[in-house]
Structure formats: C-alpha cells, structure tokens
Amino acid sequence: MGFPLTGRWRCRWSVPCSTVESWANALISVSDYERAGENRRSLARQVQRGVLVRVRPGIYAPAREWRDLTWWDQYRLKVEAVAQGPASDRVFSRQSAASVWGIPFFGAKNHVHVQVGRSTHGRLSAGVQSHRDLELESPVKRKKLWVTTRAQTVIELALSVPFPHAVAAADHVLNADSEESLEPISKNEIMAIAERLNSKAKFDRASNVIRFADVRSDSPGESVSRANMYLEGFGQPELQYRVEDDDGSLIGISDFYWEELRLLGEYDGLTKYSRNEYLQGKLPPDVLTAEKIREDAMRMTGRGMVGGCGPPCGEPDLMRHPFFRRSFGQQGWQRISGNTSGPQDRSGARTF
C-alpha cells in the first residue's frame, strides 16, 4: 500500500481542527488501521519516509499537520493518545491534567502523568509516568477524560515543578477562565485541600506557592518573572499598575511597578504579537506600534521603564531575559532587602 491517508483518514485531516479534541479524533491507531483491512507495517514505512509521526506506541498522526501544532497542543494530543489505550479509565495528573484544564505548564518534553492507587509503586513506561494518588479529592471527568481536580492539580505541580512554574499555575486558577468556562478558585479553598496532605514538608512546599499566588497576575510569563524576582531577592512589584496623567485619565496599565524606584516593568510574551485573540484583527506591526506609543506615553510621566519579550520556548522568564537584566542595570537597579532571609524549602522558595 502507498500513502495511508486515503478514505476515512484523509477526511479526518482534510479540514482545519478548531480544538485539540477534534485533532484527537483524527489520530490514527494501529487497531483502527488493521480493522480497516490495512497492514500495520505500512504505518512504520510512512514514519520512515517522514509522512507520519508516532505520537506514542500504536498511535500516529500526519507529520506535516503535527509540525504545525504548538508544543503544548502536541503534548495535549499525547495525553489523548494515552487515553485511547487499553486503560481507558486512567486518571491524568500533574502537567497532563493541567493541559486538560487549560492551566499553564512548561516543558515540551514532559511525560504523560497518571495517578495510581497508593498500594502501587509509580513507574515510567512508554512515556507514561505513574504516581501514587495523593487522595486529596476525587477525580472528575473533563472533556471525556478522568483528571485530578484543578485544586489538586495545582498542589501536585507545587510539589513537583520549580517554584516559578507552580506559581503560574496557582495564579491562573485564582481567576475565572472564560475560554474554558471555569470559575475561579480561592486561595482558602486550595489551602484547605492542601491541608489534607499527609506530610508537613509537602504542605509547607505547597502552601508557599499558594500564599505567593496573586489573582492580579495577567499571564504565565508575568507569574514566572514575579516568582524569580522573589527568589533572587528583588523587591516585589505592584501588579497591573494604573499609570495616569495629571488629570487622572488612564494612560495605560503596566505589568509591574516599583514605587521605590519609580520604575515600570513590562512583560510582552510573543503570543501578544502572534495570536488572533491578542491581535483582534490587527496586523502584528500595528499592534507593536500601538504598544510603543502606549509605553512612550507612560514614560512621559517621569517614570522609568524596563521590559522584554519572553522566549518562544515555553519557558517565559523575564528576569533571566538578557534585555530585561540589562535594562535593570541601566536604571541603576539595586536589590531591595526584605526577601533575602528565612528558611527555604526544597523548591527553592523562601517560606512566608
């Protein structure tokens, strides 16, 4: 047999898919392929030719369409591919649950994470990492998949990923998610669930993240940057600061503001100039020009400004961006004491 995407498979990929779930329906499984009377060896040949990619053992996707997906959508499809396996009642956790809930997570090379009973040891097999269930809340069904609740997902991330990445997840769930039609969760709600942890060390680590979380954070990049400012001992900025003219009219809202230095900080992720929801029908150069005019107007109030654009690799970190750090140097930045003492937990986060 030649090119395998004929008939039903060609139809699956011939129209744009608006959601990850619709892409998942277009995945090619060996079992479906054989039921259609095809030879599974042809799938391996198509992989060798670069026509298909193997998403996971027994699951394939057309290579060109796969390459057009973002890394987080590719990861989400890996979760869907695992869900199509023999254990259809798997409960997804950590980054995998986060991908289903729309909670920000980082790292294109994450394993797919599932939870197992406490009597079972966690293990890694075929790209699926299993973990003992923390048993904080009962799993729920979301988008046809069993997942840990949003609160438990945030707590699990707080226990397993770097402090800045966990903060991004916690900040996110404190706000309503209109895209996912989800209500906000309060700090008190998350903390109450974290108190069910069976270890003081785990609770201390999780509570550090929960206490540091801030509902005012406007993006994962801002969250990661703010957390790294804290870890490096810099003074904490005011978030979403309103810059007004002498008449009290709003000029703009800055991501960060340090009153001690009269310094504004801007985090501009690349999505601002590439995704339709941010462009709102405008061309990227027009959005960039409007942003420059807004920033110049804020500078004219006599405040300094530093800023930068996060890298496009899923690891936004403003404090480590060379331009941002050079800008702080140009502004005569000095570390402000106050966050430089106190015990640290294993995540590197100072306790509150």
Q: Is 45 helix (H, G, I), strand (E, B) or coil?
A: helix
Distance CA 136, CA 149 (A): 9
Query: What's residue 304's pLDDT?
Result: 81
User: How is the chain split into domains, by residue range?
Assistant: 1-69, 71-216, 236-330
Q: Using CA atoms, how far apart are residues 43 and 41, in angstroms rounded to an integer?
A: 5
- The CA distance from 305 to 296, in Å, is 9
**Inter-CA distances, 224 with 90, 236, 268, 328, 352, Å:** 30, 13, 13, 17, 18
Q: What is the pLDDT of residue 104?
A: 94
DSSP codes, 79-132: HHHHHTSS-TT-EE-HHHHHHHHT-----TTPPEEEEE-TTS---EETTEEEEE
The CATH number of 1-69, from 1.10.10, 3.90.660, 3.30.450, 2.40.50, is: 1.10.10
Which regions of the chain does DSSP assign to beta strands (E)? 28-29, 52-56, 59-62, 91-92, 112-116, 124-125, 128-132, 140-142, 145-147, 238-244, 250-258, 263-267, 304-308
Q: Specify the pLDDT at position 322.
A: 54
pLDDT at 281: 62
pLDDT at residue number 30: 87
For residue 194, give both structure tokens: 């974290």
Question: 39: which DSSP letter?
Answer: -
Tokens representing 247 are 């008449």
Hey, how many other C-beta atoms are within 10 angstroms of the C-beta on 111?
19
Q: Which residue has the tokens 């027009």?
A: 286
- 146: which strand partners? 91, 141
Q: What pLDDT tens digit does each residue of the chain (352 aa) get?
A: 333 443 333 334 444 445 666 666 778 888 888 887 777 888 889 899 998 999 998 899 989 888 888 888 899 999 999 998 777 689 999 999 999 999 999 887 889 999 987 767 778 888 899 999 999 999 999 999 999 999 999 999 999 999 999 999 999 999 999 989 999 999 999 999 999 999 999 999 999 999 999 999 988 888 988 898 888 777 788 999 999 888 888 888 888 898 878 888 887 655 554 455 454 566 666 666 777 778 888 888 888 887 755 544 344 455 555 545 555 565 555 554 444 333 344 344 433 3
Residue 211 has a pLDDT of 97
Dihedral sign from CA coordinates of 116, 121, 126, 128: positive
SS3 152: helix
